[in-house]
Structure 1
Amino acid sequence: MIAVHCTVRGAKAEEILEKGLKVREYELRKNNFSDTGNFGFGIQEHIDLGIKYDPSIGIYGLDFYVVLGRPGFSIADKKQKTGRIGFRHRIRKEEAMRWFQQKVCGFFYTGWAVIPADYLLCVAN
């Protein structure tokens, strides 16, 4: 088993996230979101993303993990003069869920999925 961790930012990250969410039909559970505003999900088969099947590799799954940030978050990662991110500047779970709904037109489910009426309008745009 081989594991790979890759960081992608910008437009390419949005493109990859869009493909992954399309496989999941733009639905996530509320439990997929952490208290610090990050969220993640997984897909079972990489061929669902449109990648060609290679018999020598087989089928493998992918995990997506999204870390949201704001300008100024890098002060906590500096080596010298490390700063703290204030409570009001942190991203909370509710804000990340709101971003997911507005930016990606996603929705949440618990058990049986219920599609909201405005979902079809978001997908059409």
Structure 2
Amino acid sequence: MKELRVEKLVINISVGESGDRLTRAAKVLEQLTGQTPVTSKARYTVRTFGIRRNEKIACHVTVRGPKAEEILERGLKVKEYELKKGNFSETGNFGFGVDEHIDLGIKYDPGIGIFGADFYVVMSRPGYRVAKRKSRTNKIGFQHKVKKEEAQAWFRQRFDENLTIFIRYYLRQVRRSIM
């Protein structure tokens, strides 16, 4: 009952403008996941970036189940299974970015171009549905919530010795000993 699992994987490509680039980014997400992406709108106007309120500026896809784990594996392979400690949130979720989508195994198409993508992974345990169901909703106990350390331990165990979580304190100590 306490084992962790990937509840969902959200892949986001933020283009910053609507139009042709956004549709090309949506094609990339569709090639990667096989699902139709959803567009996201700007919350407010930013004149310096040329963004207007309610303008479509990004697209994202939510993937669940074994397909999410397979795409997550491909994304982590690009990052060489290395994440920083800061990539993990206090609630046990984590995220990372990929600079070029062609590293994920998608063939390069000059008509589409190259886009970066953000991966966000939401971790959960069996029993989390209690907080989300429509009838008889209830709170999840503190002991049952996913914590940062548990997500990091799951990550280490799942991806064997390939994972290195960089701890800034450790890196500072190494630098001081070299100097």
1:108 to 165, 168, 174: 165
Quote the residue 2:153 is aligned against: 98
Measure the CA separation in 1 of the matches of 2:61 and 2:132: 19
Equivalent runs, 1:55-70 vs 2, <5 Å:
55-70=110-125
Q: CA deviation at 1:57?
A: 1.3
TM-score normalized by structure 1? 0.82
TM-score normalized by structure 2? 0.59
State the superposition RMSD in angstroms.
Answer: 1.6
2:67 to 8, 12, 17: 12
Measure the CA separation in 2 of the matches of 1:45 and 1:94: 29
Q: CA deviation at 1:55?
A: 1.3
Quote the residue 1:76 is aligned against: 131
Number of aligned residues: 112
Unpaired runs of 5+ residues, structure 2, are 1-14, 16-21, 23-57, 172-179
Quote the residue 2:37 is aligned against: none
Range with bigger deviation, 33-42 or 99-108: 99-108
Quote the residue 1:47 is aligned against: 102
Identity %: 62
- Paired residue type of 2:127: G
- Paired residue type of 1:40: G
- Paired residue type of 1:24: K
Unpaired runs of 5+ residues, structure 1, are 115-125
Structure whose residues are more often strand by fraction:
2
Measure the CA separation in 1 of the matches of 2:126 and 2:118: 26
